[in-house]
């Protein structure tokens, strides 16, 4: 069986650079890496992914942000009901700086930074309540070494007497699996 090849080149990186067949092969390899064995993954699948996902230049700084604000709330007394409180609408603004191009393959978003492949489930990201991200890491010779998972560390700073809180999420990658 021959493997599909990507039509992407270094000067022509677009999300449509991968064919639908490429995306199926990538999604199947990711399923095997993430779900087949709890402690190990096949190096052949990791090499296949690195060959197929176009490499993109990584910015030296990547920052993401998420801001939430709560609208005004009202409270009062309603006849026949008692005390009533209505919270205002919640507004969320998200953004980022230095994000690399991401390719959608099945239920995954994946990007190739050269030394690693960053993998996220489609409906998850760094700011999700339970983020589902992994990083496939390669050694200096390009040999797959390990798979890590995203484990955030949340800090919250409250400004006294204002009711304002500033949250900070620091990303950390924890060991998960080793190459077999």
Tell me phi and psi for residue 60, to 5 degrees: -70, -20
Distance CA 51, CA 59 (A): 21
Q: Report helix, strand or coil for 119.
A: strand
Angle at CA of residue 159, ends 157 and 161, nearest 5°? 145
Domain limits, the chain? 16-73+81-179
pLDDT in tens, 71-85: 788 888 888 888 988
pLDDT in tens, 17-69: 789 999 999 999 999 999 999 999 999 999 999 999 988 776 677 766 677 77
How many Cα neighbours within 13 Å face the side chain of 28? 10
Whole-prediction pTM: 0.68
Region for residue 82 given its phi and psi (left: phi exceeds 0; alpha: psi -120 to 50; beta: otherwise): left
């Amino acid at each position: 069986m021959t493997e599909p090849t990507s039509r992407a080149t270094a000067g022509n990186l677009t999300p449509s650079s991968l064919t639908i067949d490429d995306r199926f092969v990538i999604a199947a390899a990711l399923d095997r890496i993430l779900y087949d064995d709890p402690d190990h993954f096949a190096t052949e699948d990791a090499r296949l992914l690195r060959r197929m996902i176009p490499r993109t230049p990584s910015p030296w700084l990547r920052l993401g942000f998420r801001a939430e604000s709560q609208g005004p709330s009202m409270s009062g007394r309603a006849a026949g009901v008692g005390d009533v409180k209505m919270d205002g609408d919640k507004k969320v603004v998200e953004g980022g700086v230095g994000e690399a191009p991401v390719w959608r393959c099945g239920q995954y978003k994946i990007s190739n930074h050269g030394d690693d492949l960053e993998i996220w489930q489609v409906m998850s990201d760094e700011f999700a309540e339970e983020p589902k991200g992994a990083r496939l890491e390669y050694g200096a010779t390009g040999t797959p070494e390990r798979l890590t998972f995203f484990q955030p560390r949340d800090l919250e700073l409250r400004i006294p007497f204002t009711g304002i809180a500033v949250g900070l999420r620091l990303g950390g990658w924890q060991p998960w699996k080793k190459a077999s």
